[in-house]
């Protein structure tokens, strides 16, 4: 019963904060919900000096929710499938090579650059942290969050050629980033004698390529099932079953469920499947169902991000570290994009200032917080959770609010 009550409260808060945002504040939902929830939580803190009933209730809700499990094991598959379902597969195919390089090479380079930068920043302010843990932080903060990116870019007016690169990268680098994090996490937990480069590479290959292959199979199977019937109710349920059973299978096979869901979503949402396997009515219902589910989960997710402030150990040194590492993370992302952009920009006609816009528009989000929550105490969990939270909130509120203005300004300069 506790879980039903907690879910009901979260849905109520999501509806209430969503109403306030749409009616009065009028920010993009991702930004508005995060901001309102943080202000609400700060207000609850202030009220607790008079009466701590509301604070106790909010802390009880957070204590009952394993954010890492809820996001990575449950919500992420639905959100990535929904995002991929509404991504133009034909345009993504045209940009497949830069997207692939951004999501693999870019994330790896960013992981190491941020890890090195973080190590020296922490050393500068007197915090002695092992390099392997800084590298682990680099892995969890490097992926851009498709959930945050998708919602904000649509309102920012990004050029379509650029939007497909950023969205495509964020869909795939999410899965790759989780695999890199888990690989380094395993390395940090193992003794030197137990560590094997071959074992790490094998784990990485199995997770990534296994996830891609599973996703392709699930997408093909779903296409075959949809093609053989014409009943929009059952066809919507088939797409839902694809995500739920696919996630269970991926977990059982120890392959990347996020990557599997992205590939499956791209195939199911592709032009071939839509034209050959779904009637116009079915397409409409499938799109509406997944759009509604996407909005509901997004709303709950960003309310949870705002409430996660309650689990933070807000020491002055930790806050200072977070503020100092914001520019480090941005510079490292910019550097990690330079080589791929320069390789492909002439061949694929990149828009001017692609690297700058992709750096500022590559928002961090809930996935980074969930991975930070998965750290152990010996890995400086409290420190890296505060740093991650500060970077994520800066990313959503500051970068998210200004990326549209940046795009407009750069386009004006171009004109």
The mean of the pLDDT values for the chain is 89
Q: Cα(203)–Cα(258) distance, rounded to whole angstroms?
A: 16
Domain-by-domain residue ranges, the chain? 2-63, 67-414
Q: Cα(51)–Cα(55) distance, rounded to whole angstroms?
A: 8
* CA within 13 Å, CB half, 379: 25
193: confidence class by pLDDT, cuts 50, 70, 90: very low
Q: What average pLDDT does the segment 92-114 reach? A: 91
Q: Which CATH architecture has domain 67-414?
A: Up-down Bundle (1.20)
Q: What average pLDDT does the segment 130-157 reach? A: 83
- The answer, yes or no, to whether residue 382 has pLDDT greater than 90, is yes
- Tell me what pLDDT residue 147 has: 65
Taking only the tens place, the pLDDT of each residue in 283-314 is 999 999 998 998 899 889 889 989 988 888 88
- The answer, yes or no, to whether residue 349 has pLDDT greater than 80, is no
- Tell me what pLDDT residue 397 has: 92
For the chain, give the secondary structure using H, E and C.
CHHHHHHHHHHHHHHHHHHHHHHHHCCCHHHHHHHHHHHHHHHHHHHCCCCCHHHHHHHHHHHCCCHHHHHHHHHHHHHHHHHHHCCCHHHHHHCHHHHHHHHHHHHHHHHHHHHHHHHHHHHHCCCCCCHHHHHHHHHHHCCCCHHHHHHHHHHHCCCHHHHHHHHHHHHHHHHHHHHHHHHHHHHHHCCHHHCCHHHHHHHHHHHHHHHHHHHHHHHHHHHHHHHCCCCHHHHHHHHHHHHHHHHHHHHHHCCCHHHHHHHHHHHHHCHHHHHHHCCHHHHHHHHHHHHHHHHHHHHHHHHHHHHHHHHCCCCHHHHHHHHHHHHHHHHHHHHHHHHHHHHHCCCCCCCCCHHHHHHHHCCCCHHHHHHHHCCCHHHCHHHHHHHHHHHHHHHHHHHHHHHHHHHHHHHHHHC
* CA within 13 Å, CB half, 210: 18
The dihedrals phi and psi of 183, each to the nearest 5 degrees, come to -65, -50
Taking the model in full, what pTM does it have? 0.90
Q: What average pLDDT does the segment 21-34 reach? A: 90
Cα 83–Cα 179–Cα 271 angle in degrees, nearest 5: 30
- Tell me what pLDDT residue 325 has: 97
The proportion of the chain whose per-residue pLDDT surpasses 70, expressed as a percent, equals: 94
- Tell me what pLDDT residue 151 has: 65
- Which of 73-77, 158-162, 235-239, 251-255 is predicted with the least confidence, judged by mean pLDDT? 158-162
Q: What average pLDDT does the segment 348-364 reach? A: 86
Taking only the tens place, the pLDDT of each residue in 42-55 is 999 899 899 888 88
Taking only the tens place, the pLDDT of each residue in 218-269 is 999 999 999 999 999 999 999 999 999 999 999 999 899 999 999 999 999 9
Where does residue 213 rank: exposed (0-12), middle (13-18), buried (19+ CB within 10 A)?
middle
- Tell me what pLDDT residue 202 has: 75
- Tell me what pLDDT residue 127 has: 94
- Tell me what pLDDT residue 251 has: 93
- The answer, yes or no, to whether residue 168 has pLDDT greater than 90, is no
412: confidence class by pLDDT, cuts 50, 70, 90: very low
């Amino acid at each position: 019963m506790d879980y039903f009550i907690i879910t009901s409260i979260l849905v109520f808060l999501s509806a209430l904060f969503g109403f306030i945002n749409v009616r009065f504040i009028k920010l993009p939902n991702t930004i508005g919900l995060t901001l309102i929830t943080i202000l609400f939580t700060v207000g609850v803190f202030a009220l607790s000096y008079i009466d701590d009933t509301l604070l106790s209730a909010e802390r009880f809700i957070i204590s009952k929710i394993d954010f890492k499990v809820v996001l990575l094991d449950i919500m992420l598959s639905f959100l990535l499938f929904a995002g991929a379902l509404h991504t133009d597969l034909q345009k993504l195919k045209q940009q497949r090579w830069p997207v692939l390089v951004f999501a693999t090479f870019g994330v790896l380079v960013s992981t190491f650059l941020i890890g090195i930068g973080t190590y020296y920043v922490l050393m500068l302010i007197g915090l002695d942290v092992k390099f392997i843990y800084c590298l682990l932080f680099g892995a969890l903060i490097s992926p851009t969050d498709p959930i945050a990116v998708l919602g904000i870019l649509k309102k920012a007016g990004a050029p379509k050629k650029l939007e497909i690169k950023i969205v495509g990268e964020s869909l795939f680098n999410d899965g790759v980033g989780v695999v890199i994090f888990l690989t380094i996490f395993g390395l940090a937990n193992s003794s030197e004698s137990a560590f094997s480069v071959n074992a790490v590479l094998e784990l990485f290959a199995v997770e990534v390529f296994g996830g891609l292959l599973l996703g392709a199979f699930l997408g093909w199977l779903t296409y075959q099932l949809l093609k053989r019937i014409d009943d929009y109710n059952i066809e919507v349920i088939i797409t839902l079953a694809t995500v739920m059973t696919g996630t269970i299978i991926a977990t059982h096979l120890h392959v990347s469920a996020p990557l599997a869901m992205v590939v499956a979503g791209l195939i199911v949402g592709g032009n071939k499947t839509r034209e050959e396997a779904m009637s116009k009515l079915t397409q409409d219902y499938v799109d509406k169902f997944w759009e509604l589910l996407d909005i509901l989960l997004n709303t709950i997710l960003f309310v949870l991000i705002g409430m996660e402030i309650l689990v933070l150990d807000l020491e002055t040194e930790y806050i200072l570290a977070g503020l100092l590492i914001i520019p480090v993370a941005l510079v490292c992302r910019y550097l990690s994009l330079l080589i791929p952009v320069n390789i492909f920009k002439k061949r694929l006609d990149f828009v001017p200032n692609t690297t700058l816009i992709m750096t500022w528009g590559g928002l961090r989000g809930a996935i980074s917080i969930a991975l930070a929550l998965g750290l152990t105490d010996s890995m400086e969990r409290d420190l890296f959770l505060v740093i991650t939270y500060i970077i994520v909130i800066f990313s959503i509120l500051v970068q998210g609010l200004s990326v549209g203005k940046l795009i407009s300004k750069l386009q004006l300069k171009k004109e």
